[in-house]
Chain A
Amino acid sequence: MRRMIAFAAVLAAAAFANSQTIDPDKLKQIAEESSVIAAFEQNMQTDEQFQTVMRFILPEAGETKWRKIPWTPDIWEGRIRSAQQEKPMFIWAMNGDPLGCV
Chain B
Amino acid sequence: MTGRASVFSDDRVIKILTEQFIPVADNCTFTQIQRDAEGEFFRKMAEQGHYSGRTKPTGTRQGLYACTSEGELLASINTTRVEHVLSMLNKALKKWNEMNPTADVPASYEKDRNFNRSFPEGALILRETMRDIPRKDKSSDEVQIWKHNFDHLWIRKEEAQALIPDNPKAGMEYEAPKELVRRIAQYHLVDQVRGEAPPWHDKHIQKAGLTLRVESVNENALKIRLEGHALLEADPTGQTNPYSGFKIDMKRGMDATIKGVIRYNRKTNAFEQFDMVAAASRWGATTYNFRQNDLGPAPIGFAFELIPSEPRNQTPPKFLLGTYFRNGN
User: Which residues 46-102 of A sit at the B interface, judged by CB distance below 8 A?
Assistant: 47, 50, 53-54, 56-59, 62-63, 65-66, 68-102
Bound CA span A95–B26, Å: 9
Binds B, one of A1-9, A13-21, A36-44: A36-44
Tell whether, in the assembled complex, residue A97 and residue B135 are in contact, meaning their CB atoms are under 8 Å apart.
Answer: no
Contact of B26 among A33, A63, A82, A93 (CB under 8 A): A93
Bound CA span A66–B277, Å: 24
Tell whether, in the assembled complex, residue A82 and residue B129 are in contact, meaning their CB atoms are under 8 Å apart.
Answer: no
How many residues of chain B are within 8 Å of chain A by beta carbon? 84
Tell whether, in the assembled complex, residue A101 and residue B314 are in contact, meaning their CB atoms are under 8 Å apart.
Answer: no
Interface of B is mostly: mixed
Binary contact readout B1-31 vs A (1 if CB under 8 angstroms, 0 otherwise): 1011100110001100110111111111101
Tell whether, in the assembled complex, residue B27 and residue A29 are in contact, meaning their CB atoms are under 8 Å apart.
Answer: no
Whole-angstrom distance between the Cβ of B44 and the nearest chain A Cβ: 12
Tell whether, in the assembled complex, residue A89 and residue B69 are in contact, meaning their CB atoms are under 8 Å apart.
Answer: yes
Q: Is B316 an interface residue (CB 8 A)?
A: yes
Binary contact readout B262-287 vs A (1 if CB under 8 angstroms, 0 otherwise): 00000000000001010100000000
Q: For A80, A96, A97, which residue has the most chain B Cβ atoms within 10 angstroms?
A: A97
Bound CA span A91–B28, Å: 10
Binds A, one of B158-166, B169-177, B203-211, B298-306: B298-306
Bound CA span A26–B74, Å: 46
Bound CA span A22–B77, Å: 44
**In the complex, chain A residues whose CB is within 8 Å of the CB of B17:** 69, 90
**In the complex, chain B residues whose CB is within 8 Å of the CB of A92:** 3, 8, 23-26, 64
- Given known A58-B129, A93-B61, A96-B196, contact A75–B22 (CB-CB < 8 A): no
Tell whether, in the assembled complex, residue B318 and residue A40 are in contact, meaning their CB atoms are under 8 Å apart.
Answer: no
- Given known A54-B275, A58-B305, A71-B23, contact A95–B152 (CB-CB < 8 A): no
Bound CA span A70–B96, Å: 20
Tell whether, in the assembled complex, residue A44 and residue B151 are in contact, meaning their CB atoms are under 8 Å apart.
Answer: no
Binds A, one of B104-112, B231-239, B241-249: B104-112
Bound CA span A102–B149, Å: 7
Tell whether, in the assembled complex, residue A82 and residue B103 are in contact, meaning their CB atoms are under 8 Å apart.
Answer: yes
Q: Is B93 an interface residue (CB 8 A)?
A: yes
Contact of A66 among B8, B21, B28, B145 (CB under 8 A): B8
Tell whether, in the assembled complex, residue B102 and residue A57 are in contact, meaning their CB atoms are under 8 Å apart.
Answer: no
Tell whether, in the assembled complex, residue A95 and residue B25 are in contact, meaning their CB atoms are under 8 Å apart.
Answer: no
Q: Is B325 an interface residue (CB 8 A)?
A: no
Bound CA span A24–B69, Å: 51
Tell whether, in the assembled complex, residue B22 and residue A87 are in contact, meaning their CB atoms are under 8 Å apart.
Answer: yes
- Given known A88-B68, A89-B66, A90-B64, contact A100–B152 (CB-CB < 8 A): yes
**In the complex, chain A residues whose CB is within 8 Å of the CB of B1:** 102
Tell whether, in the assembled complex, residue A43 and residue B279 are in contact, meaning their CB atoms are under 8 Å apart.
Answer: yes
Tell whether, in the assembled complex, residue B315 and residue A73 are in contact, meaning their CB atoms are under 8 Å apart.
Answer: yes
Contact of B318 among A44, A47, A54, A100 (CB under 8 A): A100
**In the complex, chain A residues whose CB is within 8 Å of the CB of B145:** 33
Whole-angstrom distance between the Cβ of B314 and the nearest chain A Cβ: 6
Bound CA span A60–B22, Å: 26
25 residue pairs of the A-B complex, CB under 8 angstroms, read: A33-B140, A37-B136, A43-B259, A53-B301, A54-B277, A54-B305, A56-B301, A57-B130, A66-B3, A72-B22, A72-B23, A73-B24, A81-B22, A83-B69, A85-B22, A88-B21, A88-B68, A89-B22, A93-B31, A93-B62, A94-B25, A95-B27, A96-B27, A100-B315, A102-B1
